[in-house]
Amino acid sequence: MLSGNESSLRHQQTAINNTSNSSQTSGGPAVYRHTSNDKKLSTMASPLPPGPINTDLLTQRAILEQLLMKRPVEGDFWFVIVSEWLEQLKRYIGIPTSRKFYHQRSHPGPVITRRDYAHTVDVVQEDAWRMIVQWYGLADGHKPMKLVVYSYNKIPEIEHNINSFKVSTSESPLEDFHNVRFSKMEKVGHIEYKIRELYRIPKTKSTRLWGKPDCDAHWKPLFCRDKAIGKVLDLDSDFTRSIINLEICDDDGQWNHSPDELPSLQDDPSGPMYENNIFDDITSTWEIEIHEQIDHIGKSFLENLHVNFSSFVQRAKEYVDERDYNIREREREINLREVYIDELRNRLEEKERKLDCEIDVCRNQMKEYDIKKQEMEKEYSEKLTDLEKNNINKKNRTRS
């Protein structure tokens, strides 16, 4: 989204750097007050480890593939990285990329965040940033640039520009105001803390905030300190100059100084005030150790998964080889049986041919026997006839 957009990132860089300033004087006499000993710059990110940590490329790819697919979610933090460096990292650990930076697959070196006119930049989610810096470190002279996600028209996007707010107290004269820049995701409690610092309000005094998106809008109570200022005032522009008013409670506990003589509300603010803005990192040591332990657990899990997967593949290969051997044995047995059956069929066919021949011979003999029988019967009948004739002749002779 930020790649190739030089003007947008230039405004973003200026806006982030300005969040650390307590106030900027604008249009008034020398009644403006400035606090000294500014806090650390808002571009400070999480504490960096003492040096890069060696993690195998397979583990890095498995972790970053999921983290780089994350979509912007309102309130999440994203960090700027030079596009060429990020693409070199993807090529190095084997993550597919559609971009073509014609370089070899080599170690990308420490993380680069500073831009020049030859570079474009990308943004990565905070978890991905922590992992990348933990593995590769941050290049000398390069500072983390931390951005926040804000919903414009209900669509989460990286905040393009930090808005300017006109802040004052409800009792201060018109010319006594300060221009201070805050993120639209900044908590109301931190804005109240900064205004109290600007006007040196004693800690014993209770205060609460009122605000309106622009000079023509109506005042809104900002009594919940845990909410984001942009969501409370319904800000949807990077260039809206909202107005914030600090109301100070009377000594008797009454709220009688609401802006523009609004009806007095006696509701007390809820939630704590925040000394640090959303860009300040207040991560404690034990949280860093937990992240390291989580990384170690994830690495061990992936190593065990890799070992188990290798074992599974080996067993699967052995099973396939054994099954192939059994199949080949079965095929050999079937071939032998087929050969035996072919031989037996040939033998039976040969016997059948012999039997057919013998049957033909028998039939011929039977025909011959029938002919001889007929001849013998004929001969017998003739002889019998001759014999009868002879007997008759003999009888006649005897009578005569």
Query: pLDDT tens across 53-77, in order?
Result: 677 888 899 999 999 999 999 999 9
Give me the chain's average pLDDT, please: 81
242's CB contacts (< 8 A; 6+ apart) are 163, 165, 166, 211, 212, 213, 214, 229, 233, 235
Say if 289 falls within a structural domain: yes
Same domain, 168 and 150: no
Q: Cα–Cα distance between 272 and 29 in angstroms, integer?
A: 33
261's CB contacts (< 8 A; 6+ apart) are none
Q: How confident is the model at residue 160 (pLDDT cuts 50, 70, 90)?
A: confident
Q: Is the pLDDT of residue 24 over 80?
A: no
171: domain CATH number? 3.10.20.90
Element (H, E) at 181: strand 178-182
21, two tokens: 């300033």
Q: How many structural domains comprise the chain? A: 3
Q: Cα–Cα distance between 343 and 377 in angstroms, integer?
A: 50
Q: How confident is the model at residue 260 (pLDDT cuts 50, 70, 90)?
A: confident
Say if 277 falls within a structural domain: no
Same domain, 196 and 325: no
In this prediction the pTM is 0.58
Range of the domain at 301: 285-400
Query: What number is the average pLDDT over the span 208-215?
Result: 92
Say if 114 falls within a structural domain: yes
Same domain, 10 and 139: yes
- Helices (DSSP H) in the chain: which residue ranges? 6-18, 57-67, 83-93, 126-136, 188-198, 229-232, 285-399
Same domain, 199 and 73: no
**What was the pLDDT predicted at 303?**
78
Same domain, 107 and 17: yes
Give per-residue burial for 13-46: e unless 16+ CB within 10 Å, then b.
eebbebbbbbbeeeeeeeebeeeeeebebbbebb
Angle at 293 between CA 291 and CA 299, to 5 degrees: 105
**What was the pLDDT predicted at 262?**
79
Say if 252 falls within a structural domain: yes
From 80-84, 119-123, 236-240, 373-377, the region with the lowest mean pLDDT: 119-123
Using the 8-state DSSP alphabet, how is residue 152 labeled?
E
Query: pLDDT tens across 313-333, in order?
Result: 889 999 999 999 999 999 999
Same domain, 154 and 171: no
Q: Is the pLDDT of residue 141 over 90?
A: no
**What was the pLDDT predicted at 106?**
85
Say if 27 falls within a structural domain: no
Angle at 108 between CA 103 and CA 111, to 5 degrees: 130
Same domain, 254 and 315: no
Same domain, 114 and 171: no
Quote the distance between the C-alpha of residue 36 and its chain's center: 45
Same domain, 379 and 328: yes
CB atoms inside a 10 Å sphere around CB 92: 18
From 45-59, 105-119, 261-275, 356-370, the region with the lowest mean pLDDT: 45-59
**What was the pLDDT predicted at 118?**
55
Q: Is the pLDDT of residue 264 over 50?
A: yes
Query: pLDDT tens across 354-397, in order?
Result: 999 999 999 999 999 999 999 999 999 989 998 988 888 888 88
Same domain, 192 and 142: no
Angle at 143 between CA 137 and CA 145, to 5 degrees: 110
Q: What percent of the chain has pLDDT over 90?
A: 47
Same domain, 150 and 168: no
**What was the pLDDT predicted at 102?**
55
Give the residue among 102, 140, 138, 99 at the shortest CA–CA distance from 122.
99
Say if 270 falls within a structural domain: no
Same domain, 10 and 128: yes
115: domain CATH number? 3.30.2230.10
Q: Is the pLDDT of residue 49 over 60?
A: no
Contact in structure between 120 and 4 (CB atoms under 8 Å):
yes
Extract the runs of DSSP E, i.e. beta strands, from 195-299: 207-212, 220-222, 242-248
Q: Is the pLDDT of residue 179 over 50?
A: yes
